Amino acid sequence: MSRGRFVVLEGIEGAGKSTHAAFLAGWLRQQGIGVVAAREPGGTALGERLREILLDPEVTGMPPLAELLLMFAARSASLEEVILPALDEGLWVICDRFVDSSYAYQSHGRGVPRKYVEALEEQVLGGLRPDLTILLDTPVRVGLSRKADPQGGDRFERESREFFERVRAGYLERAALGGDGYRLVDASKSLEEVQTDLKDAVRPLVP
Ligand code: Z5A
């Protein structure tokens, strides 16, 4: 049995990752492909508990390095329990966020030295890299307007516009350096247009 494919959707808040991850999984199933959905942080018992802490606005003053370590703790559980078993079974994994979120948010956004993220990536992921990372790129103004929350939102959603500008710049840098394994999709277009672009991005991987 051949190994499954690993596809990651990335982007700032409100870019449409959750919406399009569900669309992509549905479209692939229509092509007869077995798909497992994953998300970070989360997707396992440990990951969901860590997600609660990471998103809780009442958790204040979390050191950026602690935030990075918790993201990788959740990622380690997701790899062991969800991603690697699915790939070994020949299934595709569609993951809503992965390691590029750590580069974009913790390194570019929070200022954690990039070498820390690189070291954790090496230790936790070993040789595993996504077959394809799709960056859903949208201006911060557009993303935030889609997620406006009168209650103030979670711990990340309360961050400043400048923070999300740094995160977006981090993603664009990753995509520019990443070569063949990345596709940039303009996520400010209509849902239908974005979905057409997503299918075009993934089609070369479909057997
Ligand atoms: N985080 C981190 O810091 N480091 C890490 O390593 C990892 C994560 C893995 C939780 O992630 C937080 O964790 C996240 C980064 C941090 N915080 N932030 N920001 P999350 O993925 O759960 O949170 P999120 O980015 O806020 O995701 P989201 O709220 O689920 O946004 P989304 O998935 O990109 O958007 P959506 O829910 O699919 O769409 C939002 C709305 O826009 C919805 O009503 C859609 O119908 C609409 N939409 C989407 N696309 C379109 C288009 N094209 N046109 C019109 N309307 C659209």
pLDDT tens digits for 99-157? 999 999 999 999 999 999 999 999 999 989 999 999 999 999 999 999 888 778 999 99
How much is the pLDDT for 164?
98
- What distance in angstroms lies between residue 16's CA and the mean position of ligand 1's atoms? 6
Map residue 38 onto helix, strand or coil: strand
Of 117, 116, 92, 120, nearest to 33 by C-alpha is 92
Distance 59 CA to ligand 1 centre (A): 20
Tens of pLDDT, residue by residue over 21-51, are: 999 999 999 999 999 999 999 999 999 999 9
- Among 56, 146, 42, CA closest to 97: 42
Residues with CB under 6 A from ligand 1: 11, 13-19, 40-41, 71, 96-97, 101-102, 105-106, 146-147, 156, 187, 190-191, 194
- The 3-state DSSP class for residue 57 equals coil
**For 174, which DSSP code?**
H
Q: What is d(CA 41, CA 73) in angstroms, rounded to the nearest whole number?
A: 9
- Taking the whole predicted model, whether its pTM rises above 0.85 is answered as yes
Respond yes or no on whether the N-terminal peptide bond of residue 207 is cis (omega within 30° of 0). no
